[in-house]
Amino acid sequence: MFSPDGLWWWDGKEWKPAVSPDGHWRWDGTSWQPAQPGAARRGGGGATAAVIITVAVFGGILVLVGLITVVVLLTMGNQFANVFSNVAAALGSSPSP
């Protein structure tokens, strides 16, 4: 019996690899056969899907942080400008004796 992805087979006691470590041989249930060059593995799209999902989540987080930044700057922009002008004025003034 083979696993759903075709990479493992059950010998009655334990799961064993159905593909040689170098990828050149495949177990067919009775003997090792040369692996078909260019043959797509069953269930091999998991890594690609994981990369796509990771990139999409990262992009979504960047968009969300950008939107929050724009909203904060639009609602509190004048207060930030006032703080910076007060700091600039304080830095430009001479100290009191």
Q: Kindly report, residue by residue over 68-78, the tens digit of the pLDDT.
A: 999 998 998 88
Q: Is 58 in the same domain as 25? A: no
Flag whether 71 is in a domain. yes
pLDDT, mean of residues 11-38: 86
Question: 53 and 35 in one domain?
Answer: no
pTM: 0.42
The residue segments making up the domain with residue 28 are 1-39
In this prediction, residue 40 has a pLDDT band, given cuts at 50, 70 and 90, of very low
Q: Give residue for tokens 């040369």.
A: 34
What pLDDT score was predicted for residue 28? 84
Judge if 51 and 88 occupy the same domain: yes
